[in-house]
Structures are given as C-alpha cells and as structure tokens.
Structure 1
C-alpha cells in the first residue's frame, strides 16, 4: 500500500517536471520571436539619406537616365526595401549586364556594366530562306542594345519559320562576336536540316469517296514527283486544322450531315525524314432536301411571298450553302419591301427513314440593333473605302450578323491581306453595334516571266506586270508583253471593280500586236482600244457593254503569191472599225443548286458602223455543261459554240471573218478547216461567216499515284466553218473550196499533267471525217507557265 502511494507521488512529480519543461520552452521561443521581430522591424525601419550619388561604369547611358530608371533622387530618404526595388528596376531595364548598389555613409555608389550595342546582324548557313526574309522575323536590330533573352526569342522565331516550311529539324543558335568600344556582332548560326515531307496521305473510314478524291480537297499534299519545287507536301501542323475544315465543308456540301473526323494521326517514318498522315473519318448517310416551307411570325409579312423566291426543291442534295442562299434571297426581298429587322431562321426536321431534311424557314422580327460605326485598322496601303464597299450596310443601318459574315468573306476574297478579321461588339448602347475590321496587308504586285509552247506557234516568251491593288484603290493594272516565233503583242489592261462605289466594273484595254499568219500568206498589224462596263443583272447573270475601236492593216509577205481573194484584202490596206457590243454571261458552276454540276451560258453581239470602214453584226454564243460522276472521279464536259457574221457594208476581209483554232476545234491546225483558196502555189485560209462546233470530253484518273498530277481524257469534237457571202473574188473562182462547208469529226486522247512549272496537255487526235484540203494536226502540246 505504501509502495503504491510512493508510485503515485512519483508520477505526480514527473508531471510537474514535464509541465515545468514545457513552460520553459514556451518562454524561450517567445523570447526568440520577440528578438526576431524587433530585429526585423529595425531592419525595415532602417533608412538612408544620401547627399551624393556616384555612378560608375556607364559609358553610353547618362547618369540622369540611370537615376530616372532607378527612381532615386539626391537628398531623398530611402529604406532598404526601396534600394532593392531600385536595383531590380535597373537590372530589368535590359540596358545593363550587372548592377551593384552600395550605401557608403552619405554617398550612394551605383556600379553598372553596360550591355554592348549590336554592331552588325548576320545569318550563316541559310539557303532556303534569304536574309531579307529572316531580318523581318527578329526584333533585335543594329545600333540597339544587345539583349541575350531577346536574341534567344529571335532564334526561336527563325526556327519556327523553318518548321512552317517543313524543316522540323532546323536549329538556330545566336552567337556573339565582341568588338571594340563595347560593341558586338550578332550572328545567327542556322542549321536548316532536311524537309520533312508527307510521304503518305491516307484516309480511314471513307467508303463513298476515294483517297485520291479526298486528297484533292486538302491544302496539304502528298510528296510528289517534283517535291523539290512543291511546298504543300511538307508537314505543317497548323495546316491540319484548315484541312479538317475543308474536309467538313466538302462532305457537308454533298449532304453528309453526320460526317465527322474522329482523329488525325501524324507519324514519323523510321528514318525521321517524312510523315505518314492519316485522317480517320466517319461519313454517315447522304441526306437530301425534303419539304421546304416558309412561315411568318412577323406581322405584315406574307410567308407565301417569301416562299415564292425559294429555289430549293425536294430531292436536291442537302447543302448548308444552299440554305444560306435562300436566306439571302428572303432578306434581299425584305429590303426591297422596306421591312427592317427581319430574321430568317431555318428549322430542320430530320427524317431518318427516307434520309431527308425538311426545312422550315421561320420569319420573325429580330432585335432592333443598329450599326453604330465600322472601324478599320491595319490597312496601311488599301483605302478605307475599298473595305467599306464590301459591306452592304453603313453606319446607322440595321445590324444583320449574316451580312457581316458575308462581308468578311468578301474582304478575304479580295486577296489583298495576309489576314482579315471582322468582329462585332457592343457600341455605346445595347442597341448599337461596332464592327471592327482588322487586316494585315500583303504585297499585291507581281512581275512574272513566262514561257509558252505549242506545236504550231512554237516557243514564246511572256512578261507581265500585275498590280491587283493599284495605289490602294482596289483597281487592277496589267502590263504585258508576249512574243512567239510568228507573233508579238503589247498590252495594257485597267480594271476598276467598283465604279462610283457601285457593283459596276469599268475596264480599259489597249493592245498592239503584229502577226505572221500561220494559215495565209500575209501579215497583220492591229491596234485595239476598248473601254467596257460590267454589272450584274441577276443572281448568276452579268452583262458587259463595250465600245471597240480597231485599226487593222494587212500586208503582203515578201515574195509571197496570193489568190484573188487575199489580193483584194491586200489592196484595201489599213482599215478602221468602230463598234459597240455586249456580252451576257450566266454561270452556275460555283453557285448552282448542285455542287457537282453547272452551266455556263454566254451570248454576245458587236455592231460595227459607228464611223469607220466596216458595217457588220457579229454574233457569238456558247453554252457549257459540266458534271462530275462516279463520286467526283470523272468530269464530263459538253460545249456547244457558234458564231454568225452579217455583213452590211465595207470590205469583208479574211481578218474580219471567223478563223477556228485548236481551242475551238481540235485535230486541225489554226485555220486548218473551212473555206480555202489554193492552186498549188499558194494555200490561204479564208475564214467563214458562220461556224458551229460541239465538244465533248471526259476527264478521269489513270490509276497513277495522285502526287504525280497526271490524269487522262477522251474527247470527241464535231464542227464546221462555212459561208463566204459578200466576199469579193469568190464568185466564179475555181481555186476557192469549202465555201459550202461540211462537218468534220475528230476523236482524241489527252494526257493532262499538272507540273510545278505549269499545266501540260498532250493531245493525240484522229480526224475520222475531214476534207482533202484540210490541214490536220494529229498531235498538239501546249504549255503555259509563269515563274
């Protein structure tokens, strides 16, 4: 019992000792914290007052500038923290390599080591990108302070430029060469590396359209035969997103509304010199338009009136662009009817059983929002009015989001800018909108040298200067010079696309040319002056009216023998023609209801007799139908073309009549068919007052790799050129043949090759029906390119 009491006392005594120890420890830590707090407070409260500031080490930067950068003034009281802030400001200014601030009694000593200035910037190892292009990528510049971090950023920018050019292995290292007077030469050492190309571009999941067809949709291309001249076959990651959008647009425009891209995989080859690029897609089913109706929820607006302007009919393949066109037609009708703030919303009902989409256009009143102003920035060369005329609205007009989107597309279509962004934001009030237009200019002028070749005209040289945005007014100016073995011409073309700020195109053409005729024994000299006006007359129709003044001189070739008809032409000498004319064009190849089919219709007439030496009416017409079949693999084209010349007075010469060349009738030389005057010593094409041709062609793949750019075509041409009415020297002339005409028939095979230096076309023809006096041409090669 006693032992138990002693044990309890011992335990109590132990607890007392522990409590005492804890109390002593607590007192110790409190004392330490108090001392630290007092010391810190004293340090923070420590202040300095300097009567003088001594700056050392500065040679280029003045003392006042250093003091201003540091934020220190003589006689100013500073804490230690403020001195540290001054040190940080000087060091982060980018002017000094090192900074030291030391208080010495009443004197503050600032010692700096200045960064050197850049004496010269050079690039070494670059062959693919020239110095002039590289210098625009960097921010470092000569006679400025050298900043190591900025030089590293410049090196990264150069490497990125090479990466965008397909050279992912490019390395750029900035080097510094010290010179006297604290100057350095900045050298960017560039290792360009090899181009990483798209070795194989393929698709997974596509059943309707082949890989070959889908590759033509993308901006990225598979490495081709002339890969050294093609940059689109290099791998650029940023281009993939653009390709994905183009692929979606392609499928959506063909009714595949469920199309989606599951993934895009880019895998390096084992040699790390190329990529395998695979698009994993899901096509879905093709949908067509079902019932198309219009309802009105807006008082005073008759739905039937707006339904009448719709052109979509059930059974047409669904396309979002067609829906947008219908909305545009309805909104245009609303403007004509003075109906403001009308909105058209398409409501789509999906019918999976018959794979159709019913479209209900709902007309309602939109919010009363107005365009407060249109702000344009970035156009250093292009005038504001060139951009403003792309907007159908002006300040104070009702705001329509769809019109703003379409205006943005028109601005990009000008091709004057590297980038063009159009956004709307709230203005000074909830009912006001400000449209911001931000553009980045790009060069719009080009000087091109080209070459042409044909088996009849031989080799030729073409030099052309084109400025698409002349003095920033959106006008186009073209100066050209072409020469071949037997012809030469000089020309000037000026186009004002928006005369008086309207959709009215003014054109002016001046042309001078000389020709050694391939089909007759005479030479010609021609001067043309032709102003014109063009304007839309319907959604797909456009009309051009023109005046033409021509001076044409026919000259005998030295020691050439000619017949009676050509002799009469030569006796006339130079003649002047004055005519007015028009051409109506209707084209649905881009904006029609079917993206795989379209029609081009052209009809024109020229009336000569407003002064001059000739009176005639020349009529020409052409209709072209085009359709893609077999999932866009085969393109069918049918062309019907004809012309008629009604002579009213003056001399009807060969240079005034129609002469058919290979572009109108293949299988024959220029002037190879039609009436002729020949007796064995001379053979001259006389042309004709009437002609009619029909051309049918089918283009198709040959099964070769798409990257070769080679396709095939078969064609059948039939045509006739005839009639020599009102031509002197024809009546009773036994040497004139073919005046009554006959239809010639030609079949042929073509090889079309899209090369980096231009499109080549090889035509192999056989005239299965012809006249004995025709000049047949069984092979024709044409090349047109610029470089």
Structure 2
C-alpha cells in the first residue's frame, strides 16, 4: 500500500524515537511552601477536554504547589500517552498548561515486504487506525515485524517506521521493510560426544544443516528460538538412553565472515551410562501392601535407565491404586546411585498425598473449538481428587490435538485450602489443509492427488477428509468423517465412502468398486486399539477378453476370469486389533507392531466368506548406531462359505508384498490363456526384512542406503474347472535380494530399488529396477 503523498518524518533505523523537550519555567514558583493559583487554564487541546487534562495532572486551583508537585503533574500528563509535549506557564495567579496532542493514526501500511505478506504481519501491530499515534507503540510494532523476519531466518532485515502528516492532525504510519537473504545453518558440530556420532545427533535436532543439493530449492534457516528446543531434545535423547548426568554446557553460534551463515557448536558432557539395578516397591500407606503392586511395574534390572520407564511405572502404580479405590496416592521414585557398577537402584514408594480436590476447570482462548472438545481430554472432572500427573497428561493430550499454536495448563489456588482451579489457556491455529501431490513409479507411471482435510470441523474436534487420486489407468476417491468422542465417550466413530476404478491396471481386465463403511474404534491399552466396522460395497469386473474367434490359438483371458465377470454386492462386518509401540513405546530405539483383522461377509449380498489377515513386525536401532533394522511377517486367508467359490476381486494379489516383481507379477496363473492372467489366491504370506543405513555422504545431502530380503507366496484357488489342468495354484516360494537408495530432496523423497530374484517361477513377471518419487505441496 503506497502512502507517499506528503512529507515523511523518518524515525531512526535503530528505532530510538525522539522524546519531546519540554520547557518548565518553574523558577517563579516558591521553593518552600509553594505558590497558589486561583485559576488553571488548559490550552492546545483539541480532542482531549480540559477536565481530562486536569484529571491527569491531579492539581486544582487554590492549592499551594511546589516545583516537585508541578513536576509530578507534568509526569502524570505525559504518562497518559496522549500528548507530544506539555508546558507549564505560571503568570501571576494563573497557571496555564499548554499541551500538544499526538496526532491520530489515519492509515497503516507495510512496504517493501515481499517474503512475508501483509496478512501475516498486520496482526502483529498494536498501532491501529483512528487511534492516537504513539511513538513507543510504533517502536514496538517495528520490533515485532523485525522479529517475524528473524523467525523466518532473515536476520538482516531492517524495519524503519515513518509518519506522513495529513490534515486535521492526522498521520499515516508506514513501516518500511528492507529484507535480507535467509541466514543458513552452514554447519552443526558437537564437542564432547563419544557415544553417538555427529550424524546421529544432528538427526535429533530441529535445526538442520544446509546442503548443496537442497540449497537449489530450499535452505535450512537459522532460528534463534529453536536452539533452546534443540538443547532440550538433545538432553531428552541422552537421558532416555541411560545418561542420567548429561547436560549441554553451552551452545556457541558463530556468524560467517560473509554474514550469510551460522556455525553452531553444541558443547556437551555425556557422563556415564547407567542401567537399573535393584527395582522394588515400598509402601508408606498402612492399608496398601507393596506385594500387591509388584507385578504392575515393567521396569526390570539391567534395562537402560530412562525417565520414560520411571514415568510409566509411576502411572501404572497410581492407576492401580485408583482402581482399588485408594485416592490421593502418590508414587515417589527413590533412586540410589551405585557409581562402581554404574547402576541405579530404584524403589517406587507409595505415599499419601495431600487431600486436594479439583474445584473447576477454566478454559480460555478457544474462539472456535468448543469447551467440551478440550474438557474431554481430562480424565479428571470437577470434584475429583487432584492428581498432578493426570493434569500434565491432559495438557499433553490437548497439545497433541494440534488445534492450538499454544496450550498452557496450570493449577492455581481455589476458594479453599483444599481446592485447586485448573486454568487452560489456548491459542487457536488453522486446522484445515489443501494438498496437491504428484508421484511416479516404474510400475504405475505418473499419478496425481488432490486432498482437502479439516482436523477440527466446526470446532467439534471432528476430522473431515476428502481426496481424489488418479494415474494413467486408475482412479480413486474417498470421503470420511470421524467423531473422536462418540456420545461423549472414548470411542471414535467414522463413516467413510470410497470409489475406485481401474482400466487394464496391471491386468487384462477392468474393475469398479463403490463402498460405504461406518466403524467404531476405541483404545484397549496404552498401545493397542480395536476397531469394529460394517462395509457394504458394489463391485464390478468387466472388460475380460474372451479370445479372438478368428484365431484358434488366441484364448484371451482365463476361463476362470470369464466365469467371474459381472457384478456382485458384498455386505460384511469386521474388526481389527492393532498393537504398536513404534515411536511411542518405552524403548526409544525399538518398537513392535502387531495387527490382526477379520471380515465376515454374508449379511445379505452375493458373497459369503471369512477373510483373515495378520501382521507382526519389529523395528530397532542396531547397537545404538544410525542403522535401522525392520522386519515384518504377514499373511492372510480367504475362506469361502456355503459352497461358494472365491472371486478375483476378493482374493489376495501379489501387489507389493514381495519387491522385485510387477504388481501382479506372481501367484496362481492360467498358463493356457494367451494373457497368462494372474488370478490372485486365497492365501498369501510374506516376510520383508530391511536394513537402512547412512552411505557416508554428509547428512545434509539426505542420502541413505538400504539392503533388503523379501520372500513370500500367493496360492490357492477354489475352482479350476475348464482350464485343462494348467492352472498352477500351488505354494511356490519367491525370494528376492535387493538394494535401495533413498534421497530426500525438496521435490519429495526419491527411492531407487535394484532387485534380483533368487527364487521364482518361469511365468513370473520380474521387475529388477523401480524408481519412485512422491511430493506434496
């Protein structure tokens, strides 16, 4: 916005605003008891009336006034922030107060800002149109804009406030921005680390180094406030791995000579790595027997010390006491250090806490989100015993909603000594998202995706999602709405609708599928969930080739597929049980995953079956290094009921269960058909193991390598009649060795897979190289 018509008054770039010099001729005032004025006049005021000025001054006619009292009156008038200057002029028995009012702000503009738009900067300003102009407020606004640029990594940005006089004692306020280039983090180094490499520690930090390749599109920015966060995550990382005395002694930041990059060095002291020694339970509460709680704790001797393990033990014990009807029980973990063998003896001591109750929970700042969405994150309600641990957990759950940019939860004294009030102060943030995506792989070609999502629909905490994706020969669309607290309980309810279509998609037939599925989900334990669902779908198999009648050797597709061509409706109920400790478990370097699901079709519709799938997997860091090992075993079975035969759209396909083959590259196959169609199978199993490791290049390049071994099979059909006995649906194990190269680029993650099948069948469709990229913006 240009506001350049008129002379501009420039404030200094350092934002040190000039303070008006006020002449106060108090020399005529008596030094002793003071001088009395029978009349006090006010001049120069336009907007502020005389009574208000005298009220600010705090003096009146007939009262003897000393120089000190007049000076105090002057300070009070200036403190109102309404006047640029004040002059006291005594003349006989009359005291004249002459004021010069600050102008009124007419318009506010920000100029020169190309990297950060007005919509992001304007809410930071305290100066407002049609209000009195304040130099100190303008100074604070300039600092706020400069801070916004500093947070964006542009440390050299200069903000200069200027005022342009207008008629009727008005001014336009212009904040001139001189932008600067992004200041990168050129190098992150560590001093004092012997247990973990610089590379691994850099992966922990929120601040990243700028790399050669990434600099072409996006650069890592230096943000001063992020350093405090990095200190904390580094401390948490070490202490979760047994380094109880770890500390970051200092962080030094050095500006490059060219003043366009920072060099950051973390000076750390690791200390010794401790393990748990003796672990026991003690009770200082007469009615609680320690023996009743010994099986609750999962902390074991020999495990690496971790605050997470102790917190988990405390939470389990307090929950057990509460379930037994014992309120106000607190657990005090008492640790004894054994320096000689580097162990920590731990005793969980049950103690009686103070009898304090929750008086109420006050929630403020939620302009969009409803109170009940925040309130249901508390297991505590008004009148319950006060449990500090539960309040902290509730605070973490509120932050995990990702609805708020800031969420503070703190107790304060209530109306009685045994009462506390829980204050919840939140700052809303946008929760909607629009996404576009592009992906490519050798097998599937180019594809695109568009998505809309809202995490907090209508402020109710509901999740609404819509996505459309498509490729060369496939299309899919999904719409879902999830209520995370159905009927106010810890049960999620979801209704989803989907549509998909393929046109000769890695096969010699086409498909269409439309489905509707309501479901319920609830937590079974800290790491496990159970979901229940009903699904009704209409499926169509079409475009199956029946052969060329003019060519006796062309049999087209398999007669099995020709018999199965047509439409079917399926109606099923099912459940999925999942257990997952990855990223949230007690062991920070390992996790396991288990999933078991079944669907029962036959509640109406055209098909009757039981479809079962299971998966078990594990992930761990090898020897505390930056090498990750993952392994998973999965399998499934389709059991048809009431004498029915399975349908290709219900059977298991090869998919990507075993890398190194095309989408339908292995499994039961009709070798008599010209197309040699892959028919899918009633059973499948697959075992996938992969090692992911750095390749020696600098971490900022984002390049890693991997080795993997996959093995599996798809087999079993119900009806092979009419095929001449040439359908091979036996169990044949396929095994593949492969190597991968991963590259994190600004365009998205790239993956290159090079494979070789060490065991396969002659009719399998092998794919020895695959390249994929996926990006979203």
TM-score exceeds 0.5: yes
Assess, with a 3 A threshold, how the Cα gap between structure 1 residues 107 and 614 changes in structure 2: closer, same or farther: same
Question: Can you list the C-alpha shifts for 1:532-587, whole angstroms capped at 9, x where unaligned?
Answer: 111122332221111111111122179984331221122xx221100001111112
8 Å contact kept, 1:372–1:434: yes
Matching residue of 2:480: 493
Matching residue of 1:567: 562
Matching residue of 2:301: 314
8 Å contact kept, 1:54–1:107: no
Matching residue of 1:525: 512
Q: Tell me, what secondary structure is at the counterpart of 1:777?
A: coil
Q: CA deviation at 1:353?
A: 2.1
From 738, 756, 760, the equivalent of 1:748 is 738
Matching residue of 1:12: none
8 Å contact kept, 2:276–2:346: yes
Assess, with a 3 A threshold, how the Cα gap between structure 1 residues 438 and 446 changes in structure 2: closer, same or farther: same
Question: Can you list the C-alpha shifts for 1:359-418, whole angstroms capped at 9, x where unaligned?
Answer: 111112111111111111111111122222222211111111122112211111111111
Matching residue of 1:426: 413
Matching residue of 2:23: none
Q: CA deviation at 1:451?
A: 1.3
Which segment drifts farther, 99-108 or 418-427? 99-108
Give the Cα separation in 2 of the matches to 1:656 and 1:293.
53
Mapping of 1:599-748 within 5 angstroms? Answer: 599-649=592-642, 650=644, 652-662=646-656, 664-679=657-672, 681-725=674-718, 727=719, 730-734=720-724, 736-748=726-738
Q: Tell me, what secondary structure is at the counterpart of 1:133?
A: helix
Q: CA deviation at 1:118?
A: 2.9
Assess, with a 3 A threshold, how the Cα gap between structure 1 residues 49 and 39 changes in structure 2: closer, same or farther: closer
Matching residue of 2:454: 467
Give the Cα separation in 1 of the matches to 2:282 and 2:311.
17
Give the Cα separation in 1 of the matches to 2:29 and 2:433.
77
From 348, 354, 369, the equivalent of 1:382 is 369
From 522, 529, 537, the equivalent of 1:550 is 537
From 212, 230, 235, the equivalent of 1:248 is 235
Question: Can you list the C-alpha shifts for 1:606-654, whole angstroms capped at 9, x where unaligned?
Answer: 0000011100000000011111113231111111011100011455221
Whether 1:173 and 2:164 are equivalent positions in the alignment is no
Q: Tell me, what secondary structure is at the counterpart of 2:631?
A: strand
Give the Cα separation in 2 of the matches to 1:507 and 1:750.
37
Q: Tell me, what secondary structure is at the counterpart of 1:239?
A: helix
Give the Cα separation in 1 of the matches to 2:251 and 2:42.
64
Q: CA deviation at 1:45?
A: 3.4
Which segment drifts farther, 150-159 or 714-723? 150-159
Q: CA deviation at 1:685?
A: 1.9
Unaligned runs of 5+ in 2: 1-26, 548-555
Greater helix share, structure number: 1
Assess, with a 3 A threshold, how the Cα gap between structure 1 residues 133 and 78 changes in structure 2: closer, same or farther: farther
8 Å contact kept, 1:549–1:578: yes
Give the Cα separation in 2 of the matches to 1:696 and 1:715.
5
Q: CA deviation at 1:720?
A: 0.5
Matching residue of 2:31: 40
Give the Cα separation in 2 of the matches to 1:141 and 1:768.
73
Give the Cα separation in 2 of the matches to 1:132 and 1:628.
45
Q: CA deviation at 1:222?
A: 1.1
Whether 1:779 and 2:766 are equivalent positions in the alignment is no
Q: Tell me, what secondary structure is at the counterpart of 1:668?
A: coil
Matching residue of 2:270: 283
Q: CA deviation at 1:122?
A: 2.1
8 Å contact kept, 1:602–1:623: yes
Assess, with a 3 A threshold, how the Cα gap between structure 1 residues 183 and 740 changes in structure 2: closer, same or farther: same
Matching residue of 1:762: 752
From 130, 144, 148, the equivalent of 1:161 is 148
Which segment drifts farther, 505-514 or 554-563? 554-563
Question: Can you list the C-alpha shifts for 1:666-691, whole angstroms capped at 9, x where unaligned?
Answer: 11111111112355743422111011
Mapping of 1:3-82 within 5 angstroms? Answer: 39-41=30-32, 44-49=34-39, 55-56=43-44, 58=46, 79=65
8 Å contact kept, 1:312–1:593: no
8 Å contact kept, 2:546–2:557: no
Matching residue of 1:20: none
8 Å contact kept, 1:675–1:687: yes
Give the Cα separation in 1 of the matches to 2:58 and 2:499.
73
Q: CA deviation at 1:227?
A: 3.7
Q: CA deviation at 1:61?
A: 5.3
RMSD of aligned residue pairs (Cα, Å): 2.5
Q: Tell me, what secondary structure is at the counterpart of 2:32?
A: helix
Give the Cα separation in 2 of the matches to 1:203 and 1:492.
48
8 Å contact kept, 2:184–2:210: yes
Mapping of 1:52-131 within 5 angstroms? Answer: 55-56=43-44, 58=46, 79=65, 87-100=74-87, 102=89, 111-131=98-118
Give the Cα separation in 1 of the matches to 2:496 and 2:614.
22
Mapping of 1:235-384 within 5 angstroms? Answer: 235-384=222-371
Question: Can you list the C-alpha shifts for 1:458-511, whole angstroms capped at 9, x where unaligned?
Answer: 222211111111111221111111121111122111122222232212121111
Q: CA deviation at 1:176?
A: 2.1
Give the Cα separation in 2 of the matches to 1:196 and 1:228.
15
Give the Cα separation in 2 of the matches to 1:614 and 1:594.
45
How many pairs does the alignment contain?
Answer: 740
8 Å contact kept, 1:316–1:593: no
Assess, with a 3 A threshold, how the Cα gap between structure 1 residues 45 and 39 changes in structure 2: closer, same or farther: closer
Matching residue of 2:5: none
Give the Cα separation in 2 of the matches to 1:183 and 1:591.
59
Give the Cα separation in 1 of the matches to 2:52 and 2:471.
69
8 Å contact kept, 2:28–2:90: no
Matching residue of 1:400: 387
Q: Tell me, what secondary structure is at the counterpart of 1:670?
A: coil
Give the Cα separation in 2 of the matches to 1:433 and 1:107.
58
Matching residue of 1:26: none
Give the Cα separation in 1 of the matches to 2:185 and 2:50.
59
Q: Tell me, what secondary structure is at the counterpart of 2:252?
A: strand
Q: CA deviation at 1:161?
A: 1.3
From 386, 408, 412, the equivalent of 2:399 is 412
Give the Cα separation in 1 of the matches to 2:139 and 2:30.
44
From 581, 586, 590, the equivalent of 2:574 is 581
Whether 1:226 and 2:214 are equivalent positions in the alignment is yes
Q: Tell me, what secondary structure is at the counterpart of 1:255?
A: coil
Which segment drifts farther, 243-252 or 519-528? 519-528
Give the Cα separation in 1 of the matches to 2:56 and 2:128.
22
8 Å contact kept, 1:585–1:603: yes
Give the TM-score normalised by the residue count of structure 1: 0.89
Matching residue of 1:508: 495
Assess, with a 3 A threshold, how the Cα gap between structure 1 residues 99 and 295 changes in structure 2: closer, same or farther: closer
Q: CA deviation at 1:77?
A: 6.6
Give the TM-score normalised by the residue count of structure 2: 0.90
Give the Cα separation in 2 of the matches to 1:609 and 1:655.
16
Assess, with a 3 A threshold, how the Cα gap between structure 1 residues 736 and 441 changes in structure 2: closer, same or farther: farther
Q: Tell me, what secondary structure is at the counterpart of 1:565?
A: helix
